[in-house]
A and B are shown apart, each in its own frame.
Chain A
Amino acid sequence: MKRIAVVALNTFREAVRDRVLYNLVFFALVMMAASILAGQISIGIEQTVIVTLGLSAISVIGLLISVFIGVGLVSKEMDKRTLYALLAKPVRRWEFLLGKFGGLVLTLAVNTAAMGMGLFLALLYAKQTLERGDATVFVAVYFIWLKLALVVALALLFSCFTTPLLAILFTAGLYVVGLYVQELRDLPKGVMSPGMAAFTKWLSYLLPNFENFNVMALAAHGRQVPGAFIVQNTLYAVVYCTLVLTTAVAVFSKRNLK
């Protein structure tokens, strides 16, 4: 555990010292400021505009960080051979992998929290009052973070066995597909052959369901998210990440470095 934490903290330090990250977060905060302006010209639906734009900015910036830095977590270390000296130390490959994952997820936690706070302040500035339902913004930000953790796990898995470019494409592709899992489940089974119906059913459970993490509409209208849904999404993210990371560890543990 200590060794995982050492790798995670160094990954966090790397991210903190990466200027690209600051540029992205700055961009997200500018987007939120812009959302206030957009809200002011949207009479009666300020909250909807600010929250929707703000959460979208957090999600998009987070996704960019997760995919691009996530894929680079391991592939950059292999490419630049910084990994060699590290793996000669008493650290197991799975500890390294989990450390890298933990480090980026920690970075994303700090980033999304900072951006979420920016959004909340923008909302407060626009509304001047607070209602109980406004706290849903934080739940939405938490769900975005869970979604990003899942994306990082996938990026890490793909980068363990393919080139960075393909890993980016696979991760982004799976994310897009994961937004339409519910549609896959809703396909009319009656017109399908039994084999096809079973295949789409299993595929819909196998693919990561990213749409589940989207509570933007609830947050935009100040409606509360049920506690059970929060628990369900948390468990889903934990279980799915565990499965993906276990596969990544299995692949990476057998990988010959260059």
Chain B
Amino acid sequence: MRQALSKNENMTELAIDTENLTKEYPYGFLHLKKKASLEGLNMQVETGEVFGFIGPNGAGKSTTIKLLLRLIFPTAGSARILGKPIGDIDMHRDIGYLPEQPYFYDYLTAEELLDYLARFHDLTAADRKARIQRMLKKVGLETAKKIQLRKYSKGMLQRVGLAQAILHDPKVVILDEPMSGLDPVGRREVRDIILELKRDGKTVLFSTHILSDAEMLCDRVGVIVGGKLRGVGAPEQIVDMKSQGMEILFELPGQSTTPLLSKATRTGDRYRLQVPEEEIYGAIDQLRAAGARILSVVEMKATLEEYFMNLVEADRAQAAAVEVSGK
């Protein structure tokens, strides 16, 4: 399993390496029952790659991240970051972390918060000051730096959170749902920052349930569902790359008609027709004969989203089956 999940064996040094990482939470009146939030996670993130951790809510993404940062402790298993055990405090010098839905001290301004958190790193006062100004500019909070965080919107807090995560120039950046709470402009800016980190040779692990972001940014993704890692690889690798047919987008003028219309989906003045690959030319000929104006022809591939949804549905079906059988 471990070998199967590793990308390949000739890879460089691992930035993050987990081995059988497991987290169980006790529940029930006397805490005698246990529910696994994460089951035997074996995951490797290479140095310099952008790794997307995707899964539905409650899948175990945040649990994994919190385990890596020792905010919670594993029931079993171990993990290393940059070759150091996660219990080693020195490891924290080289990592940056953005918590999910970050919340910071109300009474501080963005500038003060960054200064406070930067003081835990070995930076000179002048260096600290320069970095803070640079970061505030980078995340678009230069004009709001003197405002107390209690007056910040969710998106602005997310930006401050990102700034504190990368302020000390860490080698590994762990971002828990970095796009959450951001408007399209903010999401774009975060994407740009992640790409910039990658260009600078940093390792980025981020969790998300926004699959388009993962497809766009990640070298590899890990799909986690129900506390189990279900697949790791490049987005185009883990989904089935075989063509699933062709889609024709066309307009049909006036009273024209064609038998193919019964198979097409209409959106406004436009039609969308999905046909098997071998029938594409026949369909185009028929549409042209009917006077249709063909706008585009694209190959249909399974998306990461479909792959993801299949896994979620399979997991739910399995859970339901277990419940029915009473096991």
**Chain A interface (Cβ within 8 Å of chain B)?**
3, 6, 10, 13-14, 17-18, 80-82, 84-92, 254, 256-257
**Interface pair A89/B72, CB less than 8 Å apart:** no
Docked complex: B105-131 residues within 8 A CB-CB of A: 105, 107-108, 116-117, 119-121
B183 interface contact, C-beta 8 A:
no
A18 to B108, CA, bound (A): 11
**Chain B interface (Cβ within 8 Å of chain A)?**
66, 69-73, 89-90, 92-93, 95-99, 101-105, 107-108, 116-117, 119-121, 161, 164-165, 174
A90 and B116 contact, Cβ closer than 8 Å, known pairs A18-B107, A82-B105, A84-B71: no
**Interface pair B161/A85, CB less than 8 Å apart:** yes
**Interface pair B117/A85, CB less than 8 Å apart:** yes
Chain A residues in 8 Å Cβ range of B98 = 85
**Interface pair B116/A257, CB less than 8 Å apart:** no
Known: A6-B119, A84-B71. 4 other contacts (CB 8 A): A10-B108, A85-B99, A88-B99, A257-B66
Query: Which A-chain residue is minimally distant from B105 (CB atoms)?
Result: A82
A90 and B119 contact, Cβ closer than 8 Å, known pairs A85-B102, A85-B164: no
Q: In angstroms, how far is the closest chain A Cβ from the Cβ of B86?
A: 11
The listed residue (B72, B101, B108) touching A257 by CB distance below 8 A is B72
Chain A residues in 8 Å Cβ range of B66 = 257
A90 and B73 contact, Cβ closer than 8 Å, known pairs A13-B107, A82-B105, A85-B102: no
The listed residue (B71, B104, B107, B120) touching A90 by CB distance below 8 A is B120
Chain A residues in 8 Å Cβ range of B165 = 85
Query: Which B-chain residue is minimally distant from A16 (CB atoms)?
Result: B107
A88 to B65, CA, bound (A): 11
A81 to B104, CA, bound (A): 8
A81 to B97, CA, bound (A): 13
**Interface pair B97/A91, CB less than 8 Å apart:** no
Q: In angstroms, how far is the closest chain A Cβ from the Cβ of B150?
A: 10
Instruction: Name the residue among A6, A18, A82 with the largest chain B CB count within 10 angstroms.
Output: A82
A91 and B107 contact, Cβ closer than 8 Å, known pairs A81-B99, A85-B97, A85-B102: no
A257 to B95, CA, bound (A): 19
A219 to B72, CA, bound (A): 50
A92 and B89 contact, Cβ closer than 8 Å, known pairs A81-B99, A87-B69, A256-B72: yes
**Interface pair A80/B120, CB less than 8 Å apart:** no
Q: In angstroms, how far is the closest chain B Cβ from the Cβ of A94?
A: 11
**Interface pair B95/A88, CB less than 8 Å apart:** yes
Chain B residues in 8 Å Cβ range of A91 = 89, 92, 120
A85 to B108, CA, bound (A): 14
Q: In angstroms, how far is the closest chain A Cβ from the Cβ of B66?
A: 7
A80 to B116, CA, bound (A): 17
**Interface pair B117/A254, CB less than 8 Å apart:** no
A81 to B89, CA, bound (A): 20
